[in-house]
Amino acid sequence: MNRASLHFLLAALVAIALPLFMRSGTLASEVLIFAMAAAACNLLLGYTGLLSFGQGIFFGLGSYAAGLTLLHTSLPLALALVLSAITGAVVATGVGWLSIRRQGVYFVMLTLAFSQFFYFLAYTFKDITGGDNGLLNIPRPAIGPFSLGESWAYYAFVAVLFLLLFAALQRVASSTFGRTLLAVRDNEERARAIGFPVRNFKITAFAISGAVTGLAGALHALLIGVAPLSNIDYHMSESILIMTIIGGTGNLFASVLGAGFYVIVSDLLSSIWPRWLLLLGGLLIVVALFMQKGLWGLLERLVEALPMGRKSSINSSIESPIQPESEGRGI
Amino acid sequence: MSTQTPILAADKLSVRYGSFLALSDVTLSIKPNTIHSVIGPNGAGKTTLFHALTGRVRASSGRITLDGQDITHVSDDKRVPLGIARSFQVTSLFQNLNVRENLRLAAQGRNPLQALAPWRGVDPRDHALAVADEVMERLELTHVSDRAAGELSHGQQRRLEVGMAVAAKPRLILLDEPTSGMGIDDVEAMKALIRDLGRDHTVLFIEHNMGIVMNISDTVTVMRAGRVLVEGPPAVVRDDPEVRRAYLGNMITGDIA
Ligand SMILES: Nc1ncnc2c1ncn2[C@@H]1O[C@H](COP(=O)(O)OP(=O)(O)OP(=O)(O)O)[C@@H](O)[C@H]1O
Ligand SMILES: [Mg+2]
């Protein structure tokens, strides 16, 4: 079995296992929704080398787009989801187009600035977005003959979409396009020198990432029946980035791990200890210092430590602190 | 020969880095299917000339034409599909990608928009892969095809650097000091390769090894301080008193076959 099929199988296992181990369908849905957002973020961070603080924009706008469509029109659910994906893609194309004019720190600052800008835009246009209160009472219509009212029914719907999108993202990652992104991350100057219009590749990566993130945002709004202001907040961008980094940027399944960990641990800890974010900060420091391959890297090491695990290969026994994402190639 | 349209021509080309004039009014004409070398002391502006011809740096004045067509304002990536490819003096590879993938990308760069389709996989019968395999064979890199470029020895990296230009199957290939840092055996192999490339490409190369320059070039351009000092066939250039002075008399030692 090749790596891509293995990772898809792992993703499917997660989707099947969540209902077995979790009591709340809402929380389980949240895991998969953020897994999509983190995987989309990974396409930019892990594959293209772009640290984007703009992911919350696409997530939040996806929420609003779906909410507004379902509240004000009689369009079916599927179309509302498509519209939010398109919104995400279009805005991401614009944000990407402007931000990639600068590199490194200045690129990051531009995405951060856009993030603030869209937050205030949403806050200011209260008539449309509901401002502080959010866009309330978003209905969750049936999809064809299937009612999605019950939380596990909705979970099933989210899980199917999650697996479809995961497979699509895998396809993107392994395409000539995805492999060119890896080259851009590795050595942008050379990629241009051998003929690739690097900016077009980065913008396309942004568009795809924005579409998936927008869709995730829509699913989130449908999940809780509200498109809250917090979905477009800068903290949303931050959370999506943290999930992606904790999971590991080497492959797409790592993002599923990161999202699962983040959502479940936040849920557990926030009920026992209100200052649990401190712990998360500590964990992030540990990841940055000692385990740049994230939870996925940890998992790999555990599998290798098992007596019947794979024989440890030279590649994985040499921990290269500068190239934590060298795993990204074969997905 | 002299009436032939040059494949590449520079007309009064200048490049400024800030207020420093690194290239000043360079006029150059490369005849198709020749091997043309550029020599000159360190800092003469040879690499800067390559940067300008390939579009890496913008010309501050002057004109560049490819087959008579003005390409002065064409960006560097768009010059590759037009048939210009180069190697770098300072090795610049995709360190984390394996040798085969490095070359596949370089071959794909001739048709870059094909790679913009996110659903298009890499077919095992892909043309770019076939080119990569062929170039590995030619540069004796086949045995390291699955190693990351960053893990190769220095000599292997230098060969791959040249291979990246070859994989683009350009009409005009520019090599910036292809033998720098190579061992003696590799240097001989590289000399043979450049001569071989001259059969079906136009080659423009920068080289400090006078043995190679005088041996395989059809034309030699000597640069100094951002200007062209002398240009002509190897024998003429070697005996030019100005060139001897520029090189302080003792650097041109290579014999002519
Ligand atoms: N990016 C840059 N910014 C400022 N000055 C530069 C830059 N690149 C080159 N120069 C200057 O331009 C001049 C020509 O440099 P160039 O690299 O073209 O020389 P060269 O002939 O290739 O030399 P070498 O044989 O050492 O490779 C040098 O004086 C150098 O210091
Ligand atoms: Mg140089």
Does residue A137 belong to the interface with chain B, where contact is any CB pair within 8 Å?
no
Place of tokens 């919104």: A87
Q: Are A256 and A38 in contact, with CB atoms under 8 Å apart?
A: yes
CB of A34 closer than 8 Å to CB of A259 = yes
Q: Angle at the Cα of A217 (from A30 to A178), degrees rounded to 5?
A: 95
| pLDDT at position A326 | 39
Q: Could you tell me if A326 lies within 8 Å of chain B, comparing CB atoms?
A: yes
| Mean confidence (pLDDT) of chain A | 88
Asked if the model's pLDDT at residue A68 lies above 70, the reply is: yes
- Characterize B138-167 residue by residue with b for buried, 16 or more Cβ atoms within 10 angstroms of its Cβ, and e for exposed: bbebeebbeebbbebeebbbbbbbbbbbbb
Is the CB of residue B45 below 6 angstroms from any atom belonging to ligand 1?
Answer: yes
- Chain B's closest residue to A183, CA to CA, is B94
Q: What are phi and psi of B236, to 5 degrees?
A: -65, -45
CATH level 2 (architecture), domain A3-305:
Orthogonal Bundle (1.10)
Residues B44-100 have pLDDT tens digits of: 999 999 999 999 999 999 999 999 899 999 999 999 999 999 999 999 999 999 999
Check whether A232 has a pLDDT greater than 60.
yes
- What DSSP element (H or E) covers B232? strand B227-232
Residue whose structure tokens are 């994230």: A294
Residue A163 to residues A176, A302, B249: CA-CA distances in angstroms? 22, 26, 72
Q: What is the pLDDT of residue B251?
A: 52
Q: Give mean pLDDT, residues A99-112.
A: 93
Count the Cβ atoms, other than its own, within 10 Å of residue B129.
18
Question: What pLDDT shows up at residue A256?
Answer: 96
Query: Which residue is closest in CA terms to ligand 1's atom 29?
Result: B43
Alpha-carbon Rg of chain A, whole angstroms?
19
Q: How confident is the model at residue A199 (pLDDT cuts 50, 70, 90)?
A: very high
To test the pocket of ligand 1, the residue of B15, B38, B46, B54 to mutate (highest count of ligand atoms within 8 Å of its CB) is B46
| Under 8 Å between Cβ of A56 and A243 | no
For residues A120 and A286, which has the higher predicted lDDT (pLDDT)?
A: A120
**Is the pLDDT at A325 greater than 50, yes or no?**
no
Contact B151, B160 (CB under 8 A): no
What are the helix (H) ranges across A73-104?
A: 77-99
C-beta atoms surrounding A198 within 10 Å: 19
Chain A contact for B77 (CB, 8 A cutoff): yes
ipTM over 0.85: yes
pLDDT of residue A276: 76
Q: What backbone phi and psi angles, to 5 degrees, belong to B219?
A: -135, 145
**pLDDT bracket for residue A41 (50, 70, 90):** very high
What's phi and psi for B23, nearest 5 deg?
-135, 130
What is the pLDDT averaged over residues A259-270? 89
Closest to B56 in 3D by CA, of B4, B15, B115, B106:
B15
Query: What is the structure's pLDDT at B13?
Result: 95
Confidence class of residue A330 from pLDDT cuts 50, 70 and 90?
very low
Q: Is the pLDDT of residue A324 over 50?
A: no
| A129 touching chain B per CB within 8 A | no
Instruction: Give the model's pLDDT for residue A309.
Output: 52
Q: Indicate the pTM of the whole model.
A: 0.90
Residue with tokens 């470029």: B149
First vs last Cα of chain B: how many Å apart?
23
Q: What is the mean pLDDT of residues A307-326?
A: 43
CA distance B73 to B82: 13
Cα separation, B169 vs B114, whole angstroms: 17
Cβ atoms of residues B190 and B182 within 8 Å: yes
As beta bridge partners, residue A227 has: A135
Per-residue pLDDT in tens (0 to 9) along chain B, 257 residues: 456 789 999 999 999 999 999 999 999 999 999 999 999 989 999 999 999 999 999 999 999 999 989 999 999 999 999 999 999 999 999 999 999 999 999 999 999 988 888 888 887 788 999 999 999 999 999 999 999 999 999 999 999 999 999 999 999 999 999 998 888 888 999 999 999 999 989 999 999 988 899 999 999 999 999 999 999 999 888 888 888 777 654 455 444 43
**Residue A176 to residue B86, Cβ atoms within 8 A:** no
Nearest to A196 among B92, B97, B112 (CB): B112
Residue to test with chain B: of A43, A189, A190, A293, most B Cβ within 10 A: A190
DSSP state of A44: I
Q: In this predicted structure, what is the pLDDT of residue A308?
A: 63
Beta carbons within 8 Å of A201's beta carbon, 6+ residues apart? A48, A177, A180, A181, A184, A191, B115, B116
In the predicted model, is pLDDT for residue A141 greater than 80?
Answer: yes
Tell me how far apart the alpha carbons of residues B163 and B105 are, in angstroms, rounded to a whole number. Answer: 11
In 3D, which of A11, A20, A59 has the Cα closest to residue A247? A11
Six-digit token string for A291: 């385990």
Tokens of B181: 């840092």
The per-residue pLDDT for range A267-292, each reduced to its tens digit, is 888 887 777 778 888 888 888 888 87
Contacts of A323 in chain B (CB under 8 A): 95-96
Which has the closest alpha carbon to A52: A263, A261, A205?
A205
List the strands of the sheet with B20-30, edge to edge: B20-30, B8-17, B61-66, B69-70
**Angle CA B141–B143–B146, to nearest 5:** 90
Of B200, B148, B155, B197, give the one whose Cα is nearest residue B180: B155
